[in-house]
Structure 1
Amino acid sequence: MDWFPIVAGTFKALALGTGMFFAIKWHYDQGKKSQDKEEESRAVLRAAGKVAAVFVLSLLGLGLVTFVIISRLSLDLSLP
């Protein structure tokens, strides 16, 4: 089995997850600095939730599209 896709995929997931965490944290901290702390923090958290939901839905959609394409090409989907 080729080890590079596993290592590269893991690194990519960690890098994107870290970037998303710090982006959300930065926006949350910026919301705390404003005068309307409560309203701004709610808006930031709501936006972060929407981004996370869109990310998860797009990931599921990509998996579904991949499964459909593999099925139509009659590739073997069984586990060893």
Structure 2
Amino acid sequence: MFDWIPIVFGTFKALALGTCMFFAIKWHYDQGKKGTDKRAVLRAGGKVAAVFMLVLLGLGLFTFALARMLGLDLSFP
């Protein structure tokens, strides 16, 4: 009866992702044509990577502490 739902939702997802990818690539291409300072871009990328690693570390520690608090067995076999 509802065999068409995955087809419609899958088509919508493909169109939405395709449109978003097109505009993302276009925006990055246009930004590259502006001639931004390479040092500023590398510095910003480094900051983003550092913040990502700190958030990832914090999430890992939070997950470990929560698992220990709930009494889960975290030992390797």
Which of 39, 42, 50 is the aligned partner of 2:39? 42
Identity of aligned residues (%): 58
Q: Where in structure 2 are the equivalents of 1:1-80 lying within 5 Å? A: 30=32, 34=35, 40-80=37-77
Unaligned runs of 5+ in 2: 1-24
Aligned-partner Cα distance in 2 for 1:71–1:50: 32
Superposition CA RMSD, Å: 2.4
Secondary structure of 1:70's aligned partner: helix
When normalised by structure 1's length, the TM-score is: 0.54
Unaligned runs of 5+ in 1: 1-22
Q: Larger relative CO (CA 8 A, sep 6+): 1 or 2?
A: 1
- Which segments of structure 1 move beyond 4 Å, counting only runs of 4 or more? none
Secondary structure of 1:79's aligned partner: coil
